[in-house]
A and B are shown apart, each in its own frame.
Chain A
Amino acid sequence: MEFRGFERPNNLVGVRNTVLVMAVCDCGEPAARQMAGGIEGAVPVTQYHGCIAMETVPTLVGVAKNPNVAGTLLVAMGCEGLQPEPLREEIAKAGKPVEVVNIQGVGSTRRAIARGSRMVRDMAERAKKQQRKPCDVSRLVVGVKCGGSDTTSGIAANPAIGIMSDMLIDTGGSVVMIEPIEAIGAEETLAARAVNEAAKQQILRWIGDEEKRWTVPGASVDFMCAGNIQGGLTTLEEKSLGAIHKSGHRPIKGVLRNREDDLESVPPGGGLYLQEGIHLELHAMTSMAAAGVHIIVFATGTGGSFGHAICPLVKVTGNPETWARMSEDMDVNASTIMEGKESIESVGKRIFDEVVAVASGKLTTGEQLGFYNFAVWKRDPRLEALLALR
């Protein structure tokens, strides 16, 4: 089976041809936004952690290297601790165009915007000349995520996404699941799927470490809430098993590191991987994008109108009311499972088909709205040190 993608250097393939206009920190963000303004395919992003947030560097480099990106313009104020040159050198290893505009160096914000805008336009025009070519589906890397979950998520959307995950892995493709907090209570089930002892230990540590981060005495959070119980979830085990269902049933090859000094890419060769990181939707999506994920399949009960700057987002709802109210914001209807009209397998196949169509250029509902949300998660090295997790 094939999709039509963009060939990139280093034997990679992208499903989008985005020109990334990346302000290395928030002070350059308004200028970056104006440089990208009105240019088709240009997407402005930044990280909102300030100008000495060196912990964000692996993520910024990772998203610029993502094969959905055709080229990157780095926008710097000039005085930030997070300097653009080391970023440029690292991003350049992906063999794609990467340039820098330094606002203080140019000496005028307006002139810098004009110069940056020309560079973006130039990259976008070069990118536009690239044609999509047939690529084997085995080269696709899909991330799975849920948010705005409700009673239907664990019965309809997540299990159907799990079928998609199995189908993609069976064709040789790769799947990534983040959000270890959602796996607390499903340790045994996930660990039993590890390909070997090393992967098993990684999985147990992935969950165990996350539990420690959220159960700091005096600042702990509940893993179950009244809403979960009213929705029908009886135990944490049940809640977690429903959430991890989107990863399907295939063996887990390992946990990808996602740390302030080390962000591991999805290895070639296909299969299912977990990734370290946070469960917050946009932050998690950016982490997966930085590891090389092409497309994210998102289960939602309540609905949601966002997209992601790097990865097209295929939104799946299992809630018949959400589908009725927000179908123009949803990409796949899984509510037929709740109505007893369609099997989970059948919906899973439709999700798989949608993923392949989106990989070939079909615009997602978020893309149709022109929504390119972006947020960067930053691990706190001090918390890691205090909890002895390093």
Chain B
Amino acid sequence: MKKAIRMDEKDNVATALVGLAAGDEVEVISSNRQVMQLVTARDALPLGHKIALTNLPEGAVVTKYGAAIGKASKDISVGDYVHIHNVRSDRLPLTEHMLGLK
């Protein structure tokens, strides 16, 4: 089964260890390689990108490595692809230059 890794027990997102397709059932493992939960991917996402492990209402803190990495900028459901389209940084807003658009 395809795997995603949850870096810390407090995390509400996991990082895909392989590319995922919508509908894939994904095994979420801990850093100690224990299977922690199963989640069904609702979107396709590439290796190294994140999938939601819980529902995250708009404004909820997104946690990876046991720490806040930003806040949900819209409602996120379990299994959703979590990236710049639904999370914003509390520290540094993205600019068009950073996105390579300017």
Contacts and interface: CB of A to CB of B under 8 A. Distances in A.
Given A224-B92, A235-B91, A340-B29, 5 more contacts: A226-B100, A235-B89, A235-B90, A242-B65, A343-B31
A188 to B, nearest CB: 7
A345 B5 CA distance: 13
Nearest to B65: A241
B32 A234 contact: no
A338 B29 CA distance: 11
Contacts of A338: 17, 47
Contacts of B98: 222, 224-226, 229
Interface of B: 3, 5, 7, 15-17, 29, 31-33, 46-50, 62, 64-65, 67-70, 82-84, 87-92, 94-95, 97-100
A7 to B, nearest CB: 38
12 contacts: A151-B47, A155-B7, A155-B17, A185-B91, A222-B97, A225-B98, A229-B94, A229-B98, A235-B90, A238-B69, A241-B67, A337-B17
B88 A235 contact: yes
A237 B67 contact: yes
A235 B48 contact: no
Contacts of A223: 92
A232 B89 CA distance: 14
B17 A339 contact: yes
A222 to B, nearest CB: 5
A236 interface: yes
Given A224-B92, A229-B84, A236-B91, A159 B29 contact: no
Contact of A241 (B5, B69, B90): B69
A234 B93 CA distance: 11
Interface string A206-235: 000000000000000011111001011011
Interface in A149-208: 151-152, 155, 159, 184-186, 188-189
Nearest to A163: B31
Given A155-B48, A222-B95, A345-B31, A235 B69 contact: yes
Given A235-B87, A235-B91, A345-B32, A226 B99 contact: yes
A151 B48 contact: yes
A345 B31 CA distance: 7
B28 to A, nearest CB: 11
A338 B87 CA distance: 24
A40 B68 CA distance: 51
A328 interface: no
A232 B17 CA distance: 11
A225 B69 CA distance: 16
B92 A344 contact: no
Contacts of B5: 155, 337
Interface in A321-373: 337-340, 342-346
A223 B65 CA distance: 19
A378 interface: no
A155 B15 contact: yes
B29 A234 contact: no
A342 B87 CA distance: 30
Contacts of A236: 89, 91-92
B90 A232 contact: no
Interface string A132-160: 00000000000000000001100100010
A187 to B, nearest CB: 9
A225 B100 CA distance: 7
Contact of B69 (A229, A237, A343): A237
B69 A234 contact: yes
A344 B91 contact: no
A74 B69 CA distance: 49
Nearest to B86: A234
A245 interface: yes
